[in-house]
Structure formats: structure tokens, C-alpha cells
Amino acid sequence: MAKLHQYDYIFAIGLLFAALDAYNIGANDVANSFATSVAARSLTMRQACMLAAVCEFLGAVLVGAKVTGTIKNGIIQLAMFRENAGIEMLAFTCALAASATWLMIATKNSWPVSTTYSIVSALAGVGVAVSGPSGVQWGWNGGKGLATIFAGMGIAPAISAGFGAVVYLITKYAVLVRKDSVKKAMLLSPIYFFTVFAVLTMSIVYKGSPSLKLDKLSKTTIALAIVLTALVGAIISIVFWLPYVYAKVVRQDYTLRPYHIFLGPLLWKRPAPEPMEGVSAVADYRVHGRAEEETPAAAHADHVHHPMAVAEIAANTVTDDCADENKTLKKETSADGSTNKEKDLEAGPSAPAAAAAPAANKEVPLAEVDKSDEIVGPWIMPRNLLIIAKRIPKRLAAGSNYDVHGAQMKDADTAARLKEMHEIADQYDNDTEHLYTYLQVLTACVNSFAHGANDVSNAVGPFSAIYYIWSEGTHLGKDTPTPTWILAFGAIFIVIGLATYGYNIMAALGNRLTLHSPSRGFSMQFGASLTVLLASQYAIPVSSTMCLAGATAGVGLMSGGPKAVNWRAFGWIVLGWVLTVPIAGTAAGCLMGLFINAPHW
């Protein structure tokens, strides 16, 4: 069949809105998934962007949905298009346009909404516009109908809140409040790793790899794969992870680097370095009152584990010693001829060193200011185009360097309200909290991999249908293959969306909802994973956004009671979920109805 070149413009518009939809999935959905890790300070914003980029891309490309099926969970009936290829292309383009536009509005307003529900609602609106109410699967439809959307809004957060609360309570009373909690955490760590690996393996099998059909294997094979994977993970944690965290947390070995974990058992006998004042091997995971209320060591705790920080502290010590020595010499100088000596001493340790040192505080005349990076004249000039090209990478990386924690505390009233909410919840031993950063990051990465494999279809599913119709020149069949390049295309824009605009959602979540820490963040993410896994077994298409929100509320309640949760913020989040269905559906339906009924020559 020949390509439908008469519809090239529909294909081009569909391509643009598929890119925008994928971009907003990254900015809204993926940012929502990593918000707990960033809020708990287990990951920096840049680290979260890098890990999410790798996991989302690999999940989408390697095990992404290769089959579009009946274009998102059987919401619409393809028979209603009466094998009219042009109308089919237009329908999926309208759905993408409405979904992408709503997601952009929600992300701009810092509403973490469900990207799955957005595209499903848009497709339902298109179905009503084309064939009336009969064109949409309104019922349960084996867990694939529109009724599951409304059911999921109540089921997912409630179940996830329960799982998150249970995981946190077990962690709290088995480890956090116990005497010598670091030792208790290390002793129980193999059990934690076994459980986490088992659940995450089940998530990959049942939800994250539809193209590999791993869930179609025999129950015995699946059970053996899950148990063996979990067992291997637990053994690896004993052989490599335990000695590493022992050297870092118990011995406070600030010279350790991440690659030292491969030394494994050799780290048990690694001699600890001499203690250095102001230097700690573990970062500070407490949310407020660190630099102001703690010792100088705590003030440096956010960065002292980095080798550059150690060098900086050592350099400052040497500088202080030199300054003290200069003052002593200055006092011992006799009155005769003291003027020149004092001037020499005031200049610094030595004249050459002072001459070589940059004049940091010297006021630079306006004429001497470097203006080489300023745009002068029309932007189209070659010099200006080069300057703009140099600025693009910095602008793209600006989002990954965004200070989420600072943004949450910019407003004085908001900062005071959040501080009051955070003080209700207890904060536990910092070294113990550090041990949970590894479990939290592991959970976030695997969830991100499964998210890339499953939810990339929210953007590329409709677009793959558009591409198939346009390239093959025929109407859509029941099962439509999704080319790998389309999966890669969607994954790339998901990554760009997170890196450039994900901060807007992260700033609205995390510690603004309730107090976060590595142990709490792990409980939230693990509770959400359990919910997604359970729902997939009963064919309930829940949203990962709703699961994580519910788990956050559950952990917050167990952490400090109802007053430890920002219910106003949760109210706005729920409102965004509710508005998604009518807004995306109505917008897509109006677009489709306008185009197919518009007057023409």
C-alpha cells in the first residue's frame, strides 16, 4: 500500500503533539516518581535526572510496549471508524493534542496528574465525537473500560496508603526507634533487600515488560525466577553492600568512594582514616535546623563526604593558620621601621603570592567587563547565533540544577507553615537514615524502568497508530506493531521533559506534603510498588501518581498524625485528578467534532 501523502499534515501535527505529550510525561509523571528521593536528599536533582534518564530510556526501548492493541486499554472501538484511514489518523491526533495541552497546563500549575488517565479520557472524548456514546467502553470491560478510571481514583490511593503505612511502621519499630538502630538496620538489611528485589522483580514481570510476555511463563518458572533474583540480591548486599556501609557509617571513613563497594569483604579490614574536624562520611538528611542549630560538622554535612569538600576544609585550615602566623609576626615587629613591614604583612604571606592571587573583591571598571557573551545587534548575525548555541546546553541543564528545597521555602508564610508541620514528626538517627538511601534509590530506579516500559505508550501508542496508517496506507488493525524508533523517540522526550521542567512538579511535592526522609521515602515508594503490583494482578489499571500520593499520605499519618500532612496540597492534587477526565475528554471530543463537521469546499 502506498503512503497517504494527502494526510502528511496530520502526520506532522501528530508527531509534534506526541513529542509534547512525552515531554509532559517526563515533566509530570517521572518527576512525581523521583520527588520522594529528591525531597529525602537521597538524590540530588541532577542525580535523579541522570538515573531517570537511563532507566526510563532503557525501559522504553528494551522492553517497551511493542503492541498498541486497541489503543489504550480498549477504551474505543476501532469498528466505529468504518475503515476510514483519514478519520482514524485525525482521531488519534486530536486525542494527543488534547492530552498534551492539558498535561502542559497541569505541569505549569504544579499539578501532578495521571498521564494515563489524560490520554484515556482524550480517546474517550474522540469516541463520543465520532460515534456517540456507543463508541466508548463505559463499563468495566475486563478491567479495561472507562469505569476503571473512576474506580482507580479511590482504590489506588487507599490501598497504597495502607501499604506505605505498614512498611513504615515495620521500619520504625524494628529499626528507627530501637537502641543502636544502625546495628539493627544492618542486621535486617538482607531481609529488606530480599523483599525489595522480590517485589521489584514481580513488578517487571507483571507490569514492566509486556513485549517479553514474561507473565505468560508457567507459574513455577515465574516463582523460581522471583525467589532466585531476590536471593541473589540479598547475597550481593551481604557481600558488597554491608562492608561498604559499615566502613562508611560505623567507621566514618570519609575517604570512601562509590567504586570502593566492589572491594566487598576487603573493606572489613580497611583502616579508618584519622578523624578530621568538620568532616563526616554521611550527608545530613534532616529537613530543617541543620546549619543554624547544629555544630560546624553538621553545617558541612551536605557536602563534606565529597573529596572536594575535604580539600576545601583543609585549604581553609591552612589559610587560617597563615593568617594567625601573620598576626603574631606583626605584633613582634619593633616600632622602628615597622610601617613598611606592617604593610608587607597586610598584603599577605608573600608579595609574589599576593600578586598571583586573583583580586576577588576588586571592583572591575565597566570598560574592562567581558562582554564577549552578550548579543549585540540582530540575533541572526553569525556571532550572535554562536552565542545562542553556547547558551542552549546551559538552559537545558538549568532544570537539573534547580534547588527544589530552596524553592519550597521562598515564601515566608509557606516556610513557617511547613516548619510547623515538620516539627510534629520525629526525625531519627542520621546514620540510620543513610542506610535507607540505597533501598530508596534502588526502588526508584526499578520503578522508573517499569514506568518507561509501560507508560511510554501513553504518548507513542496513538502516534504509532498514526504512523502505521500513514505509512501503510490502510486502516488500523487489532494489533499494531510499534517500531523501536518510535519508542526511542518517546523516551528521549520523556528524559528532556524531566531534565528541563520536572523541577516544577518536584517543588510542589516532597516536603510540602509531609516530612520526608530516606526511611519514609523508601516506605512511600515501596508501598506504591506493592499497590501497582497488586492492581496489575486484578486487571485494575491504577496510576502510579495516585499510588505514590496515597503512600505519601499514609506514611505522613503514621509519622505524626493528621497534622503532619498538608491536606490542602493533597486537595489540589485530587482536584487535578478529577478535572483530568472531563477536561481532556471534552477538549478532544470538541476538536474531533469540529474537524469532522466543519464546512469545506
591 part of a folded domain: yes
pLDDT the model gives residue 212:
64
Higher pLDDT, 516 or 81: 516
534 part of a folded domain: no
Q: Which tens digits make up the pLDDT trace of 456-504?
A: 778 888 898 899 889 888 777 666 778 888 888 998 999 899 888 888 8
pLDDT the model gives residue 308:
36
Mean pLDDT of 327-338: 42
Per the CB < 8 A criterion, the answer to whether 124 and 136 are in contact is yes
201 part of a folded domain: no
Q: Which tens digits make up the pLDDT trace of 276-320?
A: 877 778 888 877 543 333 333 333 333 334 433 333 433 444 344
Q: Which tens digits make up the pLDDT trace of 227-282?
A: 999 999 999 999 999 999 999 998 888 888 989 999 999 999 888 888 887 777 88
29 part of a folded domain: yes
Output the average pLDDT for the chain. Answer: 79
Mean pLDDT of 344-364: 41
pLDDT the model gives residue 545:
82
pLDDT the model gives residue 186:
94
Set of cell numbers at residue 303: 557536602
pLDDT the model gives residue 319:
42
423 part of a folded domain: yes
Structural domain for 57, as ranges? 5-155+407-432+453-517+539-596
- Total domains in the fold of the chain: 1
pLDDT the model gives residue 372:
59
Longest dimension (CA), the chain: 107
Q: Which tens digits make up the pLDDT trace of 50-93?
A: 898 888 888 888 766 654 544 444 667 777 777 788 888 999 99
287 part of a folded domain: no
463 part of a folded domain: yes
pLDDT the model gives residue 324:
45
Q: How long, in residues, is the chain?
A: 601
Distance CA 177, CA 277 (A): 28
Distance CA 580, CA 599 (A): 30
DSSP 396-447: HHHGGG--HHHHHTSSHHHHHHHHHHHHHS----HHHHHHHHHHHHHHHHHH
444 part of a folded domain: no
Q: Which tens digits make up the pLDDT trace of 196-217?
A: 999 888 877 776 555 566 767 7
Which residue is listed with cell 492534587?
Answer: 573
